[in-house]
């Protein structure tokens, strides 16, 4: 059999490779470790993003061994897919052959990243300790080119939801936020609905898994209700997701309100998005539209669609989408629509952060078919 040569075999039309871009993680909690897994997962080719360092406060005992163990095993997301070893003498974690420097510091202004061979890096702040431009500017040390916050930004810090407004980031912008997991869950479907039907007003109620800022058992807490046991109660709390919509989707003039209830599950949340539309429609029309959006639109990496009648929260652990439309729960009555949107508030959000970092770094992994221009 005579086979014709193809581009992949001859090297014709090959993708131009760029040098890798250094990445630093500031903080190594739930989101930090998942972002680390994603960065290591994509590091095999030696191109793209390269995790160079992790900055944390030094803990007691075998700090680096404990942190490596938390990266290796996770009660929710399972085992790390690969090998992890520790070089205690040099404060390094070696993950799938990638050397990651552990830097101990209590103050971002004290770190000189060039001393570790790091240059032009993107620093991802996973602590949420600083949320305004002044505080986040402390990270702009030698070796750091840009700062990305994994929490809602305050003041004039741009809040970016990939797929919706990532193309508005200016090339010279050095500080930006990826907003919150809930903002990333509601803004893409909200944009989709606004584009097709128009939105007059809306309310989002999130039923959210508990997080580390709550107490395991009743104890003092600076917040009104988060001091009560996360494992034993449904806890009403505030969410900034509704107000963040205006930053990510400024063309939407409709008022959006929001509130949240924390519930005793460790991961995966659901946002109930209730909308008053500009025109009447039907449930079938809305579902057909959202299914098509999830399959063949610029939002297909953000929005997933499921019609399984027995889907529950644990089914969406590990989802790489920002939001999953539950078709069976969707309700439409004239100009009122209620969407039930599942989201892995840890892993799905971390994937959105990586997409933003890829965009601002100038490193975009090729996807096929290529998006329409």
* Active site members: 181
DSSP string, 35-66: HHHHHHHT-TTS-SEEEEEEEE---SSSHHHH
> How many other β-carbons are positioned within 10 Å of the β-carbon of residue 102?
21
Rounded to whole angstroms, the Cα distance separating 51 from 55 reads 12
Give the whole-angstrom CA distance, residue 120 versus residue 130: 21
Alpha-carbon Rg for the chain in angstroms: 22
Asked whether the beta carbons of 88 and 136 are under 8 A apart, the reply is no
Burial tier of 279 (Cβ tally within 10 Å: 0-12, 13-18, 19+): exposed
C-beta of residue 158 within 8 angstroms of C-beta of residue 169: yes
In contact, 294 and 300? CB cutoff 8 Å: yes
Q: Is 220 exposed, middle or buried (0-12, 13-18, 19+ CB in 10 A)?
A: exposed
Q: At which residue do the structure tokens 């993680």 appear? A: 25
Closest CA to 50 of 120, 98, 87, 90: 98
Cβ proximity of 363 and 49 under 8 Å: yes
For the chain, helix (H) and strand (E) counts, in that order, are: 8, 15
Structural contact between residues 358 and 49, judged by C-beta atoms closer than 8 angstroms: yes
H/E stretch holding 335: strand 331-343
**Cβ atoms of residues 279 and 202 within 8 Å:** no
DSSP 78-102: ---SS-EEEEGGGTEEEETTEEEEE
Tell me how far apart the alpha carbons of residues 135 and 138 are, in angstroms, rounded to a whole number.
6
């Amino acid at each position: 059999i005579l086979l014709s040569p193809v581009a992949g075999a001859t090297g014709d039309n090959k993708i131009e490779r760029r040098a890798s871009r250094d990445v630093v993680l500031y903080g190594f909690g739930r989101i930090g470790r998942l972002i680390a897994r994603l960065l290591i997962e994509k590091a095999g080719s030696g191109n793209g993003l390269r995790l160079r360092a992790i900055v944390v406060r030094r803990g007691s005992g075998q700090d680096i061994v404990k942190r490596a163990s938390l990266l290796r095993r996770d009660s929710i997301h399972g085992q790390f897919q690969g090998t992890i070893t520790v070089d205690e003498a040099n404060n390094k974690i070696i993950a799938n052959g990638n050397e990651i420097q552990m830097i101990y510091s209590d103050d971002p202004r004290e770190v000189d990243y060039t001393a570790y061979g790091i240059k032009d890096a993107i620093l991802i702040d996973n602590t949420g300790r600083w949320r305004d431009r002044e505080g986040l500017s402390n990270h702009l040390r030698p070796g750091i080119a840009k700062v990305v916050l994994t929490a809602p930004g305050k003041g004039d810090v741009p809040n970016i939801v990939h797929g919706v407004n990532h193309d508005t980031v200016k090339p010279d912008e050095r500080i930006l936020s990826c907003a919150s997991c809930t903002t990333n869950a509601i803004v893409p479907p909200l944009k989709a609905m606004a584009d097709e039907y128009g939105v007059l007003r809306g309310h989002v109620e999130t039923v959210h898994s508990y997080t580390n800022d709550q107490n395991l058992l009743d104890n003092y807490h600076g917040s009104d209700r988060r001091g009560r046991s996360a494992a034993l109660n449904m806890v009403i709390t505030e969410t900034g997701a509704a107000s963040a919509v205006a930053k990510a989707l400024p063309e939407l003039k409709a008022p959006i309100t929001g509130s949240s209830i924390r519930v005793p599950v460790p991961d995966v949340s659901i946002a109930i998005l209730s909308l008053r539309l500009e025109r009447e429609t039907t449930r079938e029309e809305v579902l057909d539209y959202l299914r098509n959006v999830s399959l063949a639109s610029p939002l297909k990496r953000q929005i997933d669609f499921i019609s399984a009648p027995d889907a529950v929260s644990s089914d969406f652990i590990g989802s790489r989408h920002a939001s999953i439309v539950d078709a069976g729960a969707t309700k439409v009555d004239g100009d009122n629509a209620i969407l039930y949107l599942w989201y892995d508030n840890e892993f799905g959000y971390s994937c959105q952060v990586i997409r933003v970092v890829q965009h601002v770094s100038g490193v975009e992994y090729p996807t096929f078919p290529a998006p329409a221009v």
